[in-house]
Structure 1
Amino acid sequence: MEIAHNQELVATVLADKVAHELHSIQDFLRWTYSVFNRADIYYGQGYDNAWDESLQLVLGGLQLPLDLPTELFPSRLTPSEKETLVQLVLARIQQRVPVAYLTNSAWFCGHEFYVDERTIIPRSPISALIQDRFKGLLDAVPQRILDLCTGSGCIAIACAYAFPEAEVDAVDLSFDALNVAEINIERHQLAHRVFPIQSDLFANIVGQKYDLIVTNPPYVDEEDLAEMPEEFHFEPEPALGSGMDGLDITKQILKQAPNYLTENGLLVCEVGNSMVSLIEQYPEVPFEWVELKNGGLGVFALRYKELVKYHHLF
């Protein structure tokens, strides 16, 4: 039904000769918003509604900032600009390509990041903790931070902004993801403090110690992975799925993390919906489930001493 409905909508868009009939940024914002509201598409990869996605697609497609003064909205577009926007809208509704991949742009902690299909789209609720500098969780300002499973590098870079004196290691198994992270590190001029490292979790950083380990590992269970909306299948599957219960990688992190934390160190880990399974499997472990100001669930904190105390369970 969704495919048939979207195909009918595509036919309508083509018949309307949009590039000829519409003229300004404002025209295209209104039209894109209307099309998205009529389409069967899924929001949840950075934006949760049709208007925000319309702004991202139209302004991003025109290489304009999201905070463009509204006084410029009546500006007329060239024929090639209009055709570009029509093709982007068609790709969004016909192929269900996420907006962030169409514009190669995503926002996290108030900063813009380059993204493409080599990495998942930044959307972790850990952003709220970073913006609050992990208030109430850290005993001291961290000097060394590890972003494990860094992907685009957004968490590592946001942590570097939040803690200007800290050095941050950005670790990922995927060379492709690290290439994207390197683009973002250069764009944010943080090559002197954020260091991309290829490693299967901790394998290539043996002997390192961190005051803070932040990780948004793959945590989608097999059932949820199979049922995810079409948009998520554009993202690299190894960055999403993690076994039957979604916790294969998280369990490895819990087991190994104390070897890489300082004595006052902290692990912050996102497990999303898999938090239910984690609680069921480790009822004795005092996971601190963090209340997130921007919504979302499934982020826990554990201190070094707790990881050591319950190490035999992992």
Structure 2
Amino acid sequence: MHTIAGGAAGDPRAEVSELVTLRDLLRYAVSRFSAADLYYGHGSSTPIDEAAFLILETLHLPIDDFNAFADARLTAREKALLGERIALRIEKRLPAAYLTGRSYLAGVPFRSDARALAPRSFIAELLRSPLFDGSGEGMSLVENPDEVTSVLDLCTGGGSLAILAAYAFPNADVDAADLSSDALSLAAENVADHGLGDRVTLMNGDLFEAIGRRAYDLIITNPPYVGREVMEVLPDEFRHEPAMALAAGEDGFDIVRRILADAREHLNPGGGLLCEIGTDRELLEAEYPDTPFLWLDTEGSESEVFWLERDQLPG
């Protein structure tokens, strides 16, 4: 049994009643999260980041400025709600994004619940980088974002990347495809929240079957890419997410192979594919030795996203 402050850990639902300020609650939540050995992989990477997000989002406060509210006192109702969410984070290993119903990707808010993965993708950072925002001065993969008129977000889930693509390419119509009707229902809510119903079209189907013969200037995709052995040992936090959005066969590349096989015929001349595949770059390169993958790094990743131009794709 985990202990805290020299004794057995009590129920947060009761213990938070003794606290006064947001600073008190943050300290308490960090202590409890650390003792519970939680896993962080849905927007936060440390107990303090997770606790701060859970507190601020629950109280409808800006999530990037805890200090501005640190000494504010909590009402009894607020304590009760936060005590319940802290308890559920520990007892059920629920991701904080599911407890609050909201997550942020590239600073943009999205609804988040168990209908789809909690929003997370290194592609979000890349779309706002000089590689795609037109500021690359000769180093860009997309030299002029205004000239991109069609984008496909394959395996869109809750729609976050499709929405970010609509912002990144202001003249583009964005199709967002997914096999899960549950995920698309969440995506529809997010599209409506962002007022993008006239530019983002949701499509239900198995990969490219959802779009017929359409072709695009850009395809982005964060598909399932978890192999069987990893699926068997996933932390409990991930087991609240749809397994079909994670699992991709024995080695994790079943879906990526299908995308590589068919992407060329759905790209316009000069177009390209941006795909996230996780940390098994070597396996993919060994299987496709003649494919010139361009690996793109981000602040939090190395060689987990590749770019291929239309004419570089196999097939």
**TM > 0.5 between the two?**
yes
CA distance in 1: counterparts of 2:7 and 2:171, whole angstroms: 51
Distance 1:242 1:124, change over 3 A: same
CA distance in 1: counterparts of 2:296 and 2:86, whole angstroms: 37
CA distance in 1: counterparts of 2:103 and 2:125, whole angstroms: 16
Written as runs of structure 1 = structure 2, the 5 A alignment for 1:176-215 is 176-215=182-221
Give the 3-state SS of the residue equivalent to 2:34 in structure 1: helix
Contact 1:216 1:271 in 2 (8 A): yes
Aligned-pair distance for 1:238?
A: 0.4
Q: Could you say which residue in structure 1 is the equivalent of 2:27? A: 30
Q: Which moved more, 1:272-281 or 1:88-97?
A: 272-281
Contact 2:13 2:87 in 1 (8 A): no
- Is 1:237 matched up with 2:230? no
Flag structure 2 segments of 5+ consecutive residues without an equivalent: 133-139
Contact 1:19 1:79 in 2 (8 A): no
- Is 1:58 matched up with 2:55? yes
Of the candidates 11, 32, 36, which is equivalent to residue 39 of structure 1? 36
TM-score by length of structure 1 reads 0.91
CA distance in 2: counterparts of 1:41 and 1:8, whole angstroms: 18
Q: Could you say which residue in structure 1 is the equivalent of 2:114? A: 117
Q: Which moved more, 1:135-144 or 1:152-161?
A: 135-144
| Structure showing the higher strand proportion among its residues | 2
CA distance in 1: counterparts of 2:236 and 2:10, whole angstroms: 21
- Is 1:258 matched up with 2:264? yes
Q: Which moved more, 1:74-83 or 1:106-115?
A: 74-83
Aligned-pair distance for 1:63?
A: 2.5
Q: Could you say which residue in structure 2 is the equivalent of 1:94? A: 91
| 1:79-113 Cα shifts (integer Å, max 9, x gaps) | 12101111111111111111111111111011011
Letter of the structure 1 residue corresponding to residue 115 of structure 2: R
Letter of the structure 2 residue corresponding to residue 84 of structure 1: L
TM-score by length of structure 2 reads 0.91
Aligned-pair distance for 1:165?
A: 1.4
Contact 1:172 1:178 in 2 (8 A): yes
CA distance in 1: counterparts of 2:151 and 2:4, whole angstroms: 48
Give the 3-state SS of the residue equivalent to 1:290 in structure 2: strand
Aligned-pair distance for 1:203?
A: 0.8
Letter of the structure 2 residue corresponding to residue 125 of structure 1: F
What is the RMSD of the two structures over their aligned residues, measured on CA atoms? Answer: 2.2
Q: Could you say which residue in structure 1 is the equivalent of 2:167? A: 161
Aligned-pair distance for 1:77?
A: 1.6
- Is 1:292 matched up with 2:298? yes
Q: Which moved more, 1:296-305 or 1:246-255?
A: 296-305
Aligned-pair distance for 1:182?
A: 0.8
CA distance in 2: counterparts of 1:6 and 1:194, whole angstroms: 49
Give the 3-state SS of the residue equivalent to 1:67 in structure 2: coil
CA distance in 2: counterparts of 1:210 and 1:248, whole angstroms: 23
CA distance in 2: counterparts of 1:15 and 1:271, whole angstroms: 38
Flag structure 1 segments of 5+ consecutive residues without an equivalent: none
CA distance in 2: counterparts of 1:275 and 1:69, whole angstroms: 38
Contact 2:2 2:9 in 1 (8 A): no
| 1:7-26 Cα shifts (integer Å, max 9, x gaps) | 99996232894233102222
Contact 2:56 2:66 in 1 (8 A): no
Aligned-pair distance for 1:117?
A: 0.6
Q: Could you say which residue in structure 2 is the equivalent of 1:247? A: 253
Of the candidates 134, 142, 151, which is equivalent to residue 138 of structure 1? 142
Contact 1:92 1:98 in 2 (8 A): yes
- Is 1:302 matched up with 2:308? yes
Q: Could you say which residue in structure 1 is the equivalent of 2:135? A: none
| 1:4-46 Cα shifts (integer Å, max 9, x gaps) | 4389999623289423310222221121122112221111121
